[in-house]
Each structure stands twice: as structure tokens, then as C-alpha cells.
A and B are shown apart, each in its own frame.
Chain A
């Protein structure tokens, strides 16, 4: 798998991992605040769920830019490892969580044999990452003990968050980046270049 990747693609994944690890850590505190705000209304469980999609975004961005098998999974795991390097209090368990989420996003791209990177597939990747991570948290955070209606409600919120914050926002950020021209050396940038030439012709 790593032989198919160029070094510059791997370093790109790593840098994205580093940038988003910092963002992920910030959102951890943001989620905590949201939870504390919602707690008095009895909706504390939703604090993290609303913004959960942000934790899958690096998979979608990296896979959309590089477009090779294994990128969605690896970039998410790198972001997890970097958070541990930065001293996240979640520790090594975070790498495991990242693996589960990355596997979810990768699964969506695997269905299309890593050929289709339209918005619907990116949204699907966000949704699968949400489904996988939800199953993992049923076990690891003991969410299975929650009342059935609450499990269903948090699941729906997490899936929507994954679709929007990871899928749609991820594509938007990548497209904006491609417009700046820094992605010329990567699959997304090349595709944009071809489109522009076709339009010009």
C-alpha cells in the first residue's frame, strides 16, 4: 500500500494530520462546553454529537485530494497519533478510536473501488465514519446502557453531523484549497486543471 504512495503524498497526509489534530483537540474543549451548556436542558448527551463530524474531516479531505486506497484510514490514524504526541488526555485509546473512524470512511471509498470522489461518496464516507464510531462508542463509553430512544436520537444526530461537517465541509475546504493552486501536484489539483483546460478549449 505504502509503495503506491509518493513521499510528498505521505508528507501531505502527515501535515494534514498535524493541522487537524490541533483542530480536533480544540473541538474537544468546544464539545465539553456545548455539553455543559446543554446539560441543564437534559440534552448533555448531544453536546458532542452535534459536532462529531469534525473528527472525521481529515479522512475526507486527504482522500479527496490524494485519491488512493488507504489514504482515508491512514490520515485519520495519523491525526490520532499526533494528538497523542501533543499530549491529548485521551491517550493511546485515541489511536484506536481513530482507526475505527478511519476504517469507516475508507469503507465508503472501498465500495466505489476508490474511483468515485463525487460529493455523494464523500458524504457517504462521513456517514460510514459516524456509523463505525457510534458502534465503537456503544462499547467503549458504555453508551449501550442508555435508553433506547436516546441511542437512536444521538445516532441520527451523529450521522447528520458526519454527512455535513465531514462530507460537505471537507469537500468545500478541499475545493477552496485547490483554487489556490497549491494542489497542482495532487490528484484533485490535476483534475481541476483538466476541467479548466476543457472549459477553455
Chain B
């Protein structure tokens, strides 16, 4: 199950095909990889299909809008082929339609890959694993975790601020100048409070003996096992398999060069 995989290696596994997809400008490669990622999502993770669809569907609409814009403004060197139709002053060619669909599918691939990571990863474990696998300084990782814990308190503080303003008779802002003043009235105190908290947390950590040394023991040791490498090689291997497949079908297009 993908939930049990090591978070750092999982993130890395998502990144490699994500970055390599940037090279592909045909329809076949991102389409098949998208299908593959969706299959992996439902076969090897506990993500409920309803939840996944709820998040993914809006991105389909966004991808269509994105592809539409790309289609209208494709550069000549990519937009070869005959003119299919024209809208307003734009001539839409087969080349630009292909590029647009490819880029739309690529963005959906990114979303599907991200969801595979985000919906299966615990945030604390991700930080712990970043510290243990990537040897990031415990000062930074525990600092981030401490800061992350304050996130819910910001909403509460905003409420307090709003009530404090109201009780003193400060009304809602009107006009652009009023908005700017209002922005300052909220953002500066919120940030100032956050900075005070940071200072207090740092003092508290140090006073309790936190030195931030890398030679330390961990209550939750995070390890990379065979399973993690199997996941890595499957996700990356399948990417190259699809690239070879699209090459053999004659679809492969790397940076506008047909192979």
C-alpha cells in the first residue's frame, strides 16, 4: 500500500516522471501515463474514489481551459500542419491542437501524481523522513513542524483581531485606500504575533535541551525498504516503457521534434 511507503522516496518517485514529462509534446505519452497513475491510485492505495474524483474533476475543467489558451497562442515552430478552423483572428492548426491536448494532459498527470502523494502521506512523517533520509538539519525540520502546528491558531487570532476592531468601533474599509489600510491593520499584527511566537518557541526548545545536532536518536525511525524501491522502479520504469511504446508507434515528440 502506498500509505506505508517512505515519504521522501515517494516524493522523489513522483518528481522524476513529473520532471521528465516536461520533455514530451505528444498526446500518447501523457495520456497513457495518466491512465497508469490513476490505475495505481485505485489499485494500490486506500484513497476513496469519491474523494479523489471530487478533487480531480475541477482540475479537468482547468486543464481544458489551459489547453484552450495554449491552442490559440501556439508558436509557429510547434504549430505545424494544416489549418483546421479559425476563431476570431486565430488560425487553429493540427499541430497546435496536438500541443494543447498534450499540455492539458501533462497538467492532469501532475495533478494525479500529486494526489497520489498528498492523499497518502502524513505531514509529520514526511518531515521526519526528510530529516532522516535527506539529513536535513533537525533545527529546520523541528522548526517547521513547530511552525506548522501554529497554523490553526492563526485563524483564531484573526477572529480575535476582528472582534477587537469591532469593539473599538473600527468599521469595514471602503475604497482602495481603505482596503490598503485594512490590509495593514490585519497583516502586521498577525505577522508580529507569529514572530513573537517563533521567538518563544525557539527559547522553549533550547531551554529543554534541543541542540539541533545531527547525531541524535529518533522516536520514530523512518527507513527506506525494498518496497519503496519497487514503487520507485515501477513508476519510473513504466514512464520509460510508455515512452518506448509511443516511440515504436511513431507518436513520440520530444520538444517539438517528432521521432
- What residues make up the interface of A, taking CB atoms closer than 8 Å to B? 2, 5-8, 10-19, 22, 32, 35-36, 39, 42, 44-45, 74, 78, 81-82, 84-93, 95-96, 139-142, 144-148, 150-151, 173, 176-177, 180, 182-183, 185
Which of A5, A91, A182 sits near B114, CB closer than 8 Å? A91
Residue contact A142 to B106, C-beta cutoff 8 Å: yes
Tally A-B pairs: CB < 8 A: 180
Residue contact B18 to A15, C-beta cutoff 8 Å: no
Residue contact B144 to A14, C-beta cutoff 8 Å: yes
From B162-170, B187-195, B222-230, B241-249, the one touching the partner chain is B187-195
Closest to B104 in A: A142
Which of B72, B110, B187, B197 sits near A91, CB closer than 8 Å? B110
Residue contact A142 to B115, C-beta cutoff 8 Å: no
B32 lies within 8 A of chain A by Cβ: no
Closest Cβ of chain B to A142, distance in Å, is 4
Q: How many residues of B contact A (CB 8 A)?
A: 70
A102 to B18, CA, bound (A): 20
Closest to B24 in A: A142
The 10 closest A-B pairs by CB, nearest first: A91-B114, A8-B202, A14-B147, A85-B123, A14-B143, A15-B198, A92-B11, A18-B147, A2-B137, A15-B147
A16 to B187, CA, bound (A): 12
A10 to B216, CA, bound (A): 19
Given contact pairs A82-B148, A85-B127, A7 touches B19 in the complex (Cβ within 8 A): no
Mask: chain B, 4-28; 1 = CB below 8 Å from A; 0 = not:
0000000110110011001001000
Residue contact A44 to B65, C-beta cutoff 8 Å: yes
B203 lies within 8 A of chain A by Cβ: yes
A149 to B127, CA, bound (A): 43
Closest Cβ of chain A to B24, distance in Å, is 9
Provide a sorted-by-A list of 5 A–B residue pairs whose CB atoms are within 8 angstroms: A7-B143, A17-B144, A44-B65, A82-B147, A180-B189
Residue contact A19 to B154, C-beta cutoff 8 Å: yes
Which residue of B70, B113, B197, B206 has the most chain A CB atoms within 10 A of its CB atom?
A: B70
Closest Cβ of chain B to A91, distance in Å, is 2
Inter-chain contacts of A180 with B (CB < 8 A)? 188-189, 192
Given contact pairs A2-B139, A7-B210, a sample of 14 additional A-B residue pairs in the complex whose CB atoms are under 8 Å apart: A10-B143, A11-B202, A12-B195, A14-B147, A17-B144, A18-B194, A39-B65, A82-B147, A90-B110, A93-B113, A142-B102, A142-B106, A150-B73, A173-B191
Interface SS of chain A: helix
Inter-chain contacts of B139 with A (CB < 8 A)? 2, 5, 7, 10
A139 to B20, CA, bound (A): 10
Residue contact B199 to A185, C-beta cutoff 8 Å: yes
A76 to B19, CA, bound (A): 20
Inter-chain contacts of A6 with B (CB < 8 A)? 202
Closest Cβ of chain B to A58, distance in Å, is 11
Residue contact B113 to A91, C-beta cutoff 8 Å: yes
Closest to A42 in B: B72
Residue contact A13 to B143, C-beta cutoff 8 Å: yes
Closest Cβ of chain A to B238, distance in Å, is 18
Closest Cβ of chain A to B107, distance in Å, is 8
Closest Cβ of chain B to A99, distance in Å, is 11
Inter-chain contacts of A36 with B (CB < 8 A)? 65
Which of B59, B74, B127, B147 sits near A11, CB closer than 8 Å? B147
